[in-house]
């Protein structure tokens, strides 16, 4: 058997076994956060690696979180139905914005600016409908009095850890599936030269829409999970431009072109935020973003492949060296 | 019924005029962004945050140091112009040969830096200049002098930029570079110097906008988010780098926001503007004034 698969199997087994051995609630909480955000970052990188840089993912995440919570609080719809509905809503939003963009060749700067405006608008809508969503003060899903399973509300960190782990692994599998599909070649051709790709028989609009849809659906799921886990959402934590930029930052720090890059990015960003928070307490307000910003600029200038990407690239060249000589 | 219609018309007219006044400032913002894009081929995502820093500059100069408004405004413009030049020198210049998306994302990092710098340095309180300009009553309509002043100053600023671009040698060089990047360096124009001047000019426009916006709005570290997205929409609708398109689009958007805000909250005006934008992308994807090819 391939040692690569063995390593993966051992790693996954260890991660599944972890909560049965080690139950410190704070550390499990950090792990759950890392897993949920890793999943969100992975879904961004599915688009981002093909040059489809979207700053609208904060919007998709906000739709995922808020639609699920609103359906539960106002209509009593279980998140088991609410989450698919919220994903559907984010998917429709993605299609409505992305279709004209792709059909009419809005790429590069234009696409970034349009999606940037999208996440800004979702934030505005959440703030404007403050009678239902609580506006910028945030929103809390009602505690269930009935079945915890039906309401998807668990007090146990270990349960959440396993759920998040499962979702994160699914995200990696989707990444791998895209990586090995024909879509990847089509998308790479498109990111090089759209006209040439179209001439070679690639349906440019359809391929781009497919990738965007997958990415938006996953991001909405991440938002809904985050809402169910934290039991508190506010427009600033799940939507808007800063969340979108946070995704970009984490993925670029970790590495866009490798499957575990977004996860590495999530580990770094969340640990950084937690260390700053514990070390400086309330004085740290704003400092974590300051550090993010400086690191983002430095990484783009000096290490555009990200940490994991650069390490893997270096390992590969070292492995190839002896063969050449 | 007749009384209702009278009131309705007055409010409608007032909203239309206020929309035009708002359009002036938005056009100024769009001009700065278009200038940078047209010449350097870079989009500053952090443009609205430069305006935010300028607004804080005005606040500190006027409220804390007691500088009169008319003296503080040029200082703020200079400050933001220097900031724009520094942004280009430190962040954009090393990335000029990198893929364009990287430059854009790097300015996204600067957005984070500026926002959190303002949070750390100035706190998250809402602050204002404490200057209350009188309100002009015209018939039964009311317009604040702050808006009229901003509109006039924005127009003067835009005319000044137009004269600079058409009447001076540097301006001509800037326009030439936006037409052909490679050839101009062969013609003996120092591209790096022109880029730096353009960045400073873009910054100065953001500074002017800051001086005007601070008259109407409170400043806080996230104030940039309330007009940043709309500026980007204007630039895309007008066609990035297209000055006239941006100018017209600014007024179209300002009217939509103003009229939308008349019937419901201001936030819904923004939502309406975005919906309009999506529709327009189907009709004129390359910008309002694009020629069909």
pLDDT digits (tens, 9 = 90+) for A262-300: 999 999 888 888 888 887 777 767 777 788 788 888 888
Size (chain A), residues: 325
- B110 at interface of A, judged by CB pairs closer than 8 A: yes
The CATH code of the domain that includes A152 is 1.10.3470
Size (chain B), residues: 293
Cα gap A173→B93, rounded to integer Å: 39
Cα gap B36→B39, rounded to integer Å: 5
List the domain range (segments joined by +) for residue A119: 3-324
Confidence of residue B293 (pLDDT cuts 50, 70, 90): very low
CB-facing half-sphere around the CA of B152: CA atoms within 13 A: 6
Q: Which residue of A has its CA nearest to B264?
A: A128
The neighbouring-strand residues paired with B136 are B143
How close A124 comes to chain B (CA, Å)? 6
Q: What is the gyration radius of the CA atoms in chain A, in angstroms?
A: 20
How close A246 comes to chain B (CA, Å)? 9
Q: What angle do CA B51, B52, B54 make, to 5 degrees?
A: 65
How close B235 comes to chain A (CA, Å)? 9
Query: Which two structure tokens, joined as six digits, stand for A234?
Result: 């506010």
CB contact under 8 A, A109 and B43: yes
- Which residue has tokens 């509300």? A153
Measured between beta carbons, the chain B residues lying within 8 angstroms of A284 are none
Q: What is the gyration radius of the CA atoms in chain B, in angstroms?
A: 20
Q: What is the mean pLDDT, run by run of 10 residues, along chain A of 325 residues? A: 82 85 86 93 91 89 92 88 93 91 79 84 83 83 78 83 93 92 88 86 89 94 92 85 86 86 90 82 74 84 79 77 51
- Which residue has tokens 């018309």? B9
Cα gap B57→B176, rounded to integer Å: 34
- B256 at interface of A, judged by CB pairs closer than 8 A: no
Name the pTM for this structure: 0.84
DSSP character at residue A233: B
Cα gap B193→B180, rounded to integer Å: 16
- Split into its structural domains, chain A has a count of 1
What 3-state class would DSSP assign to A37? helix
pLDDT of residue B55: 92
CB contact under 8 A, A286 and B109: no
User: 185-204 in B: which are within 8 Å (CB) of A?
Assistant: none
CB-facing half-sphere around the CA of B118: CA atoms within 13 A: 26
CB contact under 8 A, A304 and B102: yes
Measured between beta carbons, the chain B residues lying within 8 angstroms of A108 are 100-101
More confident of the two residues B9 and B198: B198
Burial level of A196, CB count in 10 A (0-12/13-18/19+)? exposed
Query: Which two structure tokens, joined as six digits, stand for A225?
Result: 């999970």
Query: Which two structure tokens, joined as six digits, stand for A221?
Result: 């799921």
pLDDT of residue A312: 80
pLDDT digits (tens, 9 = 90+) for A72-121: 988 888 889 999 999 999 999 999 889 888 887 777 777 888 888 888 88
Helices (H), chain A: 3-21, 25-48, 57-70, 79-103, 108-128, 130-133, 148-151, 157-180, 182-192, 194-199, 204-230, 235-238, 241-254, 261-280, 287-302, 307-324
Residue whose C-alpha is closest to residue A234's, from A65, A75, A56, A96? A65
């Amino acid at each position: 058997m391939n040692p690569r698969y063995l390593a993966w199997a051992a790693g996954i087994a260890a991660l599944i076994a972890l909560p049965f051995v080690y139950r410190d609630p704070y550390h499990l909480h950090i792990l759950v956060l890392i897993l949920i955000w890793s999943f969100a970052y992975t879904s961004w990188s599915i688009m981002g690696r093909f040059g489809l840089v979207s700053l609208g993912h904060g919007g998709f995440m906000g739709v995922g979180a808020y639609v699920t919570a609103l359906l539960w609080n106002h209509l009593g719809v279980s998140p088991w139905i609410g989450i698919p509905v919220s994903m559907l809503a984010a998917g429709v939003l993605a299609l409505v914005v992305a279709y004209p963009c792709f059909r009419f060749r809005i790429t590069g700067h234009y696409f970034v600016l349009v999606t940037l405006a999208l996440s800004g608008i979702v934030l505005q809508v959440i703030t404007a409908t403050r009678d239902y969503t609580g506006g910028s003060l945030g929103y809390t899903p009602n505690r269930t009095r009935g079945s915890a399973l039906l309401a998807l509300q668990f007090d146990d960190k270990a349960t959440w850890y396993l759920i998040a782990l499962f979702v994160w692994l699914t995200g990696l599998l989707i990444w791998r599936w895209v990586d090995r599909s024909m879509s990847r070649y089509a998308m790479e051709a498109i990111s090089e030269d759209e006209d040439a790709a179209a001439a070679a028989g690639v349906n440019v609009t359809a391929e781009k829409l497919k990738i965007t849809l997958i990415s938006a659906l996953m991001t909405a799921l991440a938002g809904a999970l985050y809402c169910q886990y934290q039991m508190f959402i506010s427009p600033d934590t799940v939507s808007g431009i800063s969340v979108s930029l946070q995704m970009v930052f984490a993925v670029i720090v970790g590495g866009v072109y490798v499957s575990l890059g977004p996860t590495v990015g999530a580990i770094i960003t969340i640990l950084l935020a937690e260390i700053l928070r514990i070390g400086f307490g309330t004085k740290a307000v704003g400092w974590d973003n300051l550090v993010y910003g400086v690191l983002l600029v430095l990484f783009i200038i000096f290490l555009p492949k990200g940490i994991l990407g650069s390490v893997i690239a270096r390992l590969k060249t070292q492995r190839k060296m002896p063969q050449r000589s | 019924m007749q009384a209702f219609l009278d009131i309705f018309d007055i409010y409608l007219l007032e909203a239309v005029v206020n929309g035009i006044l708002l359009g002036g400032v938005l056009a100024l913002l769009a001009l700065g962004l278009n200038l940078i894009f047209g010449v350097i081929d870079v989009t500053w995502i952090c443009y609205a945050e430069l305006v935010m820093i300028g607004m804080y500059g005005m606040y500190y100069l006027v409220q804390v140091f007691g500088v009169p408004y008319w003296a503080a405004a040029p200082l703020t413009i200079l400050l933001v112009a220097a900031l724009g030049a520094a942004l280009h020198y430190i962040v954009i210049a090393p990335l000029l040969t990198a893929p364009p998306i990287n430059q854009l994302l790097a300015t996204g990092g600067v957005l984070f830096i500026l926002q959190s710098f303002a949070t750390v340095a100035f706190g998250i309180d809402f602050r204002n200049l404490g200057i209350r300009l009188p309100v002009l009553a015209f018939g039964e309509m009311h317009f604040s002098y702050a808006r009229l002043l901003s509109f006039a100053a924005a127009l003067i600023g835009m005319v000044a930029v137009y004269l600079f671009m058409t009447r001076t040698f540097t301006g001509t060089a800037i326009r030439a570079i936006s037409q052909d990047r490679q050839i101009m360096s062969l013609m003996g124009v120092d591209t790096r110097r022109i880029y730096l001047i353009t960045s400073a000019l873009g910054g100065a426009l953001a500074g002017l906008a800051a001086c005007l916006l601070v008259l109407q709005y409170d400043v806080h570290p996230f104030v940039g988010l309330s007009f940043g997205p709309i500026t980007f929409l204007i630039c895309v609708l007008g066609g990035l780098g297209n000055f006239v398109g941006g100018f017209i689009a600014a007024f179209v958007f300002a009217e939509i926001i103003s009229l939308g805000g008349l019937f419901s909250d201001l936030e819904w005006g923004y939502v309406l503007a975005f919906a309009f934008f999506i529709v327009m992308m189907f009709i004129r994807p390359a910008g309002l004034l694009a020629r069909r090819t």
